[in-house]
A = this chain, B = another copy of it.
Amino acid sequence: MATLKLISDVEASPRVAAVFDDIRRTRNSDFINNFWRALAFDPQGLERTWAEVKAVMTAPGSIDPLTREMIYIAVSIANGCSYCVHSHTAAARAKGMTDDQYGELLAVVGLAARTNHLATALQVPVDAAFVAEAAG
Contacts and interface: CB of A to CB of B under 8 A. Distances in A.
> Main SS of chain A's interface residues?
helix
A104 B52 contact: no
Contacts of A119: 35, 38, 81, 83-84
Interface in A91-136: 93, 98-127, 129-131, 133-136
Interface in A44-62: 44-45, 48-49, 52-53, 55-57, 61-62
A86 B38 contact: no
Contact of A133 (B72, B93, B123): B93
A101 B63 CA distance: 6
How many copies of this protein are present in the complex? 6
A116 B115 contact: no
Interface residues of A, number: 86
B116 A45 contact: no
A45 B107 contact: yes
A28 interface: no
Contacts of A18: none
Interface string A61-101: 11100011011111111111111111111100100001111
